[in-house]
Structure 1
Amino acid sequence: MITVKNIVLRRGAKVLLDKASVTLNPGEKIGLVGRNGAGKSSLFRLLDRTLHEDGGDFYIPPQWRMAQVAQDMPETDMPATQYVVEGDVTLLAAQQEVEAAEATDDGERMGNAYMALHDAGAHDAPARAQSLILGLGFRMDELERPVDSFSGGWRMRLQLARALMCPSELLLLDEPTNHLDLDALVWLEAWLQRYQGTMLVISHDREFLDAVTDVTVHIERAQLMRYGGNYSKFEDMRAEKMALQATAFSKQQDKMAHLQKFIDRFKAKASKAKQAQSRVKALERMEKIGPVLAEADFTFEFTEPLNLPNPMLAMQDVDFGYPPLEEGGEPVTIVRGVSRSVLAGQRIGILGANGQGKSTVVKTIARDLNALAGEVTEGRGLNIGYFAQQELDVLRPTDTPLEHMIRLVKECTEQGRLQGQSTREQDLRSFLGGFNFTGDQVKQAVGSMSGGEKARLVLCMIVWQRPNLLLLDEPTNHLDLATREALSMALNEFEGTVMLVSHDRSLLRAVADEFWLVSRGGIAPFDGDLDDYQRYLLEVAKESREAQKREQRDQQKVPAAAPVAAKPDAKQRSQNAEQLKPLKKSLEQADKKLSDLNAEKTNLETSLLNEAAPARLAEAGRQLKTLGEKIEALEAEWLDLTEKIEAASTE
């Protein structure tokens, strides 16, 4: 076991741990939580011995092998597979011993070296490495690409693969999900659940922590507090503890009332749709852990938009993608033929595997990219607030938060986009203060700030613009748990429309009322909740692995064994055919009705763009609701017929 006893740990003048003690047992999966700056990463550095304690002592069994993700960006032209294989330090040492033994005439040493190489798994090391690489979202054709040909985020995925490749009894993971999308995250969760050693993980993704941990260690007031259970259990226990502290609880009442306001409001709004029920459960959970949320020292809200065009925008036969890479070349189309409308008040979670085009769709709606075909028609008065994955990169490192706000005022003034905000410097300072930029921080160079502080500045600039449509592409990558909660609460109170791409399932559950799935070159509603989507991802991954195995067999020209199927006799085939006829006819009719209803819905949504009469808008809203109910019923009938046809075909 790992024992930490009366540890004192300082960074400069700040005391991070003050005579702190905790015991971690073999095989436990521990989530390490605490506010930014509490000392989580420093505790990791203590355990891997890159930092030394200022007092006390700790013990890790000397025979334990440790694995962790290297934080440096790899710069090498080594093929990706080989790079990950070399993360297995036991295998690497065995290979080096074989080379050294072969340089001698010592037969016994060579025999022992070859045996150690076999025991280290040399025979299947490339296959194990490739399984990790593919699981983390890479394609088959990228397995032998040079490491330095990938972007920074993908190289960090390779660093994670190297850590997982390394045999270990202790695994340290510091924000392992930062560069992952949802499909890679789901795969990583499944891998870590099978991990046999002791694991410590730092993460701001509550659902990830819930899935992979069974113990939580909280750093608070320079002490290590151990709680049995995952992050949600930790919140429950801590909320109960705080609720008993009457003095502290009384100070939370204003924030609790603020929390209760939107819980009551959105429970009343939620429909019976599966994903809406998931959101109700998320809100009920927020109600239960209200004392914890109310303790947060950072909250903010979106100012009510001045107007809400309805629809916000309409897309007619739109192709999404990128312009030609060179003059005279062909554009790169990723998503084709999309005809959909975005209405006032919608809260859309955009799902899809990596590379399917989620960010491309959002960039096009945000006007960063032009549509390759079709037409995107914006509602009058549309005001977009856009948080891009790369938004932090466009901040000017040498400028201060105040200078960023002053420049934003100038841009909005020139473009006629001022929404009644005050532009006085003192008011801008006060606005920044609401996002925890106080005192001298407003004049601190952005380049010296943490990723979380930069993300807060981007959120501040978006909120100041008073948008009525929020486009958020992975907004939580650099946010700690407290700021994620603040964002979730602010989005739930936002009066406008939200379109959200995120691998943070807690945020998706709390914010989204419906989901769009970007897949196979198109966009379609996803009729289910995030649990259904997770099962869908695992099924897609399984199909992909099977396809890759088939491809490998074909390349090796090894014929796959064909299953022997019993052939039905002529009488049975005739009976099956007679059973299928009415079912197939009904399915064709349902297909045609669905096509007609969807076309009618699209035409109605598009016609709303030019409609200003309140009575006509209200009538159109009722028609849209009726159409939606008809489509939902018809889709259920279509699925039932499909299942019956499949069952009859296999008899």
Structure 2
Amino acid sequence: MLKINDISYSIAGRQLLANASATIPSGHKVGIVGRNGTGKTTLFKLITNELGLDDGNIEIPKKMRIGGIAQEAPASDDSLLETVLSADTERTALLEEAEVATDPNRIADIHGRLADIDAYSAEARAASILSGLGFSSLAQSRPCHEFSGGWRMRVALAGVLFAQPDILMLDEPTNYLDLEGTIWLETYLKKYPHSVLIISHDRQLLNTSVNAILHLTDKQLTLYQGNYDTFDSVRRAKLAEQESMARKQEATREHLQSFVDRFRAKASKAKQAQSRIKMLEKMEPIAAGVENSVAAFDFPTPEELSPPILRLEDTSVGYDEKPILRDLNLRIDQSDRIALLGANGQGKSTLSKLLADRLIPMNGNLVRSSKLKIGYFAQHQVDELHLDETPLQHITREFPGETPSKLRSRLARGGIGPEQALTEVGRLSGGQKARLSLLLA
């Protein structure tokens, strides 16, 4: 059981949590939701003691193992399979001890524990997890250093899944997965034998793989039973009820105040007026249920261009003179809405970069309309932001002719409020950085 008791935490003078509490029973699979910047990732770091609380405490049984993904797997010479196997540090330590142990009783204990943690089927389990995340048998035998950072993030995910901690903590685990990998992860998490905490904006994942939702809002934590759709329905009903109660209270308050205003000066009604004044003083205000504002991205209607707006003719593209995609033929018209699907490593991002003029064709033709304007937003786009600048500085550079009020309005429509607009990008949450990148695309 994980118990969060009256915790408070502030960063750079901004309070994220204030006397927040929640109890998560063992074995629960919990989705952690809340607006960008409310402190979801911070909560993870508080649970793992990477950050220290200002007040309160978090109770975790001493023998309970916590596991999560801090960073991508190192670019080592170890194979992917070896890297995943080494993630279960208890298994590795027991196997090493078994090699040198001489006490028969200790040897028996070691092998008993190895059996308990299913150590003898470890390679098969590790290979199965890697396969589910998109690695072929051949890829599993290759060294880690041959893979990009995104692929090594998958290896890190495979490692923590293989280690099977008592509390599995995943922060946006689908960010580096394709559709097949995401579907596999949903199924895997449903069957996971221990507690799971997931930060995610993937509604399908939160509907399929969790049985509770921990909502972080207004510096408080509230645990709801059920999946995301159930949480959303219950929360909306609570907000509507709160709104109704607030309206009724306001009507009562106005009625009482009206009586006081009319009869306070009359001796015959003074006692009744005084009674109503006391009722007003004792009345605890009920805050109206307020739905959080929703980011409103608007995409202006572009100038009408003659078709096709973009055409590939026997085009090849790749990296370091090695083609990834060959002999492409494609026509795109202005009315097209296209989704790129394909297994990992097949060249979806490469094709996107080619179309966005971020890669040059190796051969063939790429013909664009002379007036074509392209906005580009990709997975690692946030890496191009200047961490020491504010969102307002970024968007001013992108739209130099606009007034400050219009620029702030652009940011606000994208979910970046007045406070965040003047905050250095390096101090923003991952979601806030992504919103800024999309606004700049």
TM-score, reference length from structure 1? 0.55
Within the alignment, does 1:11 sit opposite 2:6 as a pair? no
3-state DSSP of counterpart to 1:216: strand
C-alpha distance in structure 2 between counterparts of 1:193 and 1:173, whole Å: 14
Equivalent residue runs for 1:57-96 within 5 Å: 57-71=57-71, 74=74, 76-96=76-96
3-state DSSP of counterpart to 2:170: strand
User: Quick one: structure 1 residues 80 and 23, their matched pair in 2 at CA, closer, same or farther if it must change by over 3 Å?
Assistant: same
Equivalent residue runs for 1:576-595 within 5 Å: none
Within the alignment, does 1:356 sit opposite 2:346 as a pair? yes
C-alpha distance in structure 1 between counterparts of 2:308 and 2:237, whole Å: 45
CA deviation map 1:478-504 (0-9, x unaligned): xxxxxxxxxxxxxxxxxxxxxxxxxxx
Equivalent residue, structure 1, for 2:98: 98
User: Quick one: structure 1 residues 451 and 308, their matched pair in 2 at CA, closer, same or farther if it must change by over 3 Å?
Assistant: farther
3-state DSSP of counterpart to 2:338: strand
User: Quick one: structure 1 residues 92 and 364, their matched pair in 2 at CA, closer, same or farther if it must change by over 3 Å?
Assistant: same
Match 2:329 to one of 335, 338, 343: 338
3-state DSSP of counterpart to 2:9: strand
C-alpha distance in structure 2 between counterparts of 1:321 and 1:248, whole Å: 62
3-state DSSP of counterpart to 1:347: coil
Q: Is the 8 A contact 1:38 1:219 kept in 2?
A: yes
Equivalent residue, structure 2, for 1:179: 176
Letter in 2 for 1:8: I
Equivalent residue runs for 1:432-443 within 5 Å: 432=411, 434-435=413-414
Letter in 2 for 1:359: S
Q: Is the 8 A contact 1:16 1:38 kept in 2?
A: yes
Q: Is the 8 A contact 2:30 2:214 kept in 1?
A: yes
Equivalent residue, structure 2, for 1:586: none
Q: Is the 8 A contact 1:20 1:223 kept in 2?
A: yes
C-alpha distance in structure 2 between counterparts of 1:438 and 1:224, whole Å: 22
User: Quick one: structure 1 residues 441 and 188, their matched pair in 2 at CA, closer, same or farther if it must change by over 3 Å?
Assistant: closer
CA deviation map 1:587-646 (0-9, x unaligned): xxxxxxxxxxxxxxxxxxxxxxxxxxxxxxxxxxxxxxxxxxxxxxxxxxxxxxxxxxxx
User: CA offset at residue 336 of structure 1?
Assistant: 3.9
C-alpha distance in structure 1 between counterparts of 2:46 and 2:425, whole Å: 29
Letter in 1 for 2:91: L
User: CA offset at residue 211 of structure 1?
Assistant: 1.5
User: CA offset at residue 224 of structure 1?
Assistant: 2.0
User: CA offset at residue 221 of structure 1?
Assistant: 2.0
Q: Is the 8 A contact 2:389 2:425 kept in 1?
A: yes
Equivalent residue runs for 1:160-309 within 5 Å: 160-246=157-243, 295-296=292-293, 298-309=295-306
User: Quick one: structure 1 residues 392 and 208, their matched pair in 2 at CA, closer, same or farther if it must change by over 3 Å?
Assistant: same
Equivalent residue, structure 2, for 1:457: 436
CA deviation map 1:82-118 (0-9, x unaligned): 22111113312311321341xx4x3443344344445
3-state DSSP of counterpart to 2:325: strand
Equivalent residue runs for 1:211-610 within 5 Å: 211-246=208-243, 295-296=292-293, 298-316=295-313, 318-322=314-318, 325=320, 331-339=322-330, 341-379=331-369, 381-398=371-388, 400-401=390-391, 403-405=393-395, 407-408=397-398, 422-423=401-402, 428=407, 431-432=410-411, 434-435=413-414, 446-462=425-441
User: Quick one: structure 1 residues 296 and 85, their matched pair in 2 at CA, closer, same or farther if it must change by over 3 Å?
Assistant: same
**Bigger helix share:** 1
3-state DSSP of counterpart to 2:339: strand
C-alpha distance in structure 2 between counterparts of 1:322 and 1:70, whole Å: 31
Within the alignment, does 1:23 sit opposite 2:14 as a pair? no
Letter in 2 for 1:349: A
User: CA offset at residue 53 of structure 1?
Assistant: 4.7
CA deviation map 1:533-586 (0-9, x unaligned): xxxxxxxxxxxxxxxxxxxxxxxxxxxxxxxxxxxxxxxxxxxxxxxxxxxxxx
Q: Is the 8 A contact 2:67 2:169 kept in 1?
A: yes
Q: Is the 8 A contact 1:81 1:144 kept in 2?
A: yes
3-state DSSP of counterpart to 2:176: coil
3-state DSSP of counterpart to 2:300: coil
Letter in 1 for 2:308: P
TM-score, reference length from structure 2? 0.78
Q: Is the 8 A contact 2:36 2:429 kept in 1?
A: no
> How much is the aligned-residue C-alpha RMSD, in angstroms?
3.4
Runs of at least 5 residues in structure 2 that lack an aligned partner in the other structure: 248-288
C-alpha distance in structure 2 between counterparts of 1:237 and 1:426, whole Å: 37
User: Quick one: structure 1 residues 361 and 199, their matched pair in 2 at CA, closer, same or farther if it must change by over 3 Å?
Assistant: same
C-alpha distance in structure 2 between counterparts of 1:405 and 1:62, whole Å: 48
C-alpha distance in structure 2 between counterparts of 1:248 and 1:338, whole Å: 62
3-state DSSP of counterpart to 1:218: strand
C-alpha distance in structure 1 between counterparts of 2:28 and 2:109, whole Å: 34
Identical aligned residues as a percent: 38
Letter in 1 for 2:385: L
C-alpha distance in structure 1 between counterparts of 2:340 and 2:246, whole Å: 38
Q: Is the 8 A contact 1:134 1:140 kept in 2?
A: yes
Runs of at least 5 residues in structure 1 that lack an aligned partner in the other structure: 251-291, 411-421, 463-651
C-alpha distance in structure 2 between counterparts of 1:442 and 1:24, whole Å: 35
